[in-house]
Structure 1
Amino acid sequence: MSLSTNADEHQVREFTCGCCAAPAQRTWNFVLRDGSPHAVYFANSYNHGGQGHETWIDVILGSWGGENHSDHVTFGCRVGAVEDSPAPAATAVQACLDGSAGPLHGRTLSREEALAHPWITDFWAVVDHVLEHDPVVHPHLYG
């Protein structure tokens, strides 16, 4: 399985963090698997006023190419500092914690639902791809 994104489709929006009023960035794009639409991700990167870098990622998996989103499911994770680790770590969380859920997201999964879902491996593969290749997320978390 080969994942890719199209740099021409990558979107970024600046916003203000609701909890600390620090600048933040939201980035999103389609993810292709072997050249075909596979997922959409939304990643919110925060600095929390100098208190630490973290990114919250929602990944929508399902079929693409039409207006029917009935098979879509959205997974969520937080990537950031964790105790006793020099590198950021990813943890599954409730999807769309920022209140962004809409029809495109389909069913938003809780942490427990995500960990038991048959598409969890696809979700983590997309997260790994975002962490390695997104031009906002990668430098935000890894410098």
Structure 2
Amino acid sequence: MLEIEFENPNISVCECCGGKTTRLTRFVHKDGNAFAIYYLSFTDNHPDKSIIGIISIGDWGSDGPPKNRKSFPFKIWTNEKNYQIGLIDKIESPWQDALLGEILNRNEALKHNWIKDVFHITDHIVAEDILAIEYLNQSNG
């Protein structure tokens, strides 16, 4: 069973547009054990109403080295009826922290053994992460 630990948002002013940027940090537990971490970022004033995120899966239950983690950058947006989720290349990700482990490009991520876990987590994001859901629903107007 997957459980998400919700931290308070980090709010700042976007340097390019002056809008409100929201950054979220979430800890994911699977069967009671540390499993993954994800970050989300979105800005209320950008014309592209989407969320950029990254999921890092691997050895989060100990002080294990980042080499035991892989990160999967992604984007979430909506069409008229559904949430859309797509993997993106690491160059498009604002997160480049070595603590997250190796950040995979889209093609690498799609072939990785943990891709089902990534999409399982994104399913939970669009079902449980209230701040992300509210932003996406608002942007869908």
Tell me the TM-score normalized by structure 1: 0.84
Matched residues, number:
137
Matched, 1:108 2:107: no
Matched, 1:61 2:60: no
The equivalent residue for 1:117 is 112
Matched, 1:99 2:98: no
The equivalent residue for 1:6 is 5
Identity of aligned residues (%): 21
Match for residue 39 of structure 1 among 33, 36, 54: 36
- Bigger shift: 61-70 or 115-124? 61-70
What's the CA shift string for 1:38-95, capped at 9, x where partnerless?
A: 100000022334x35311110000012114111111101111145xx43331111124
Separation (CA, whole Å) in 2 of partners of 1:11 and 1:73: 25
Q: Give structure 1 stretches of 5+ with no counterpart.
A: none
Separation (CA, whole Å) in 1 of partners of 2:120 and 2:41: 18
Checking the alignment, whether the CA contact within 8 Å between 1:96 and 1:108 is kept in structure 2 is no
The 3-state SS of whatever aligns with 2:135 is helix
Q: CA RMSD in A?
A: 1.9
Separation (CA, whole Å) in 2 of partners of 1:112 and 1:18: 31
Q: Give structure 2 stretches of 5+ with no counterpart.
A: none
Matched, 1:133 2:132: no
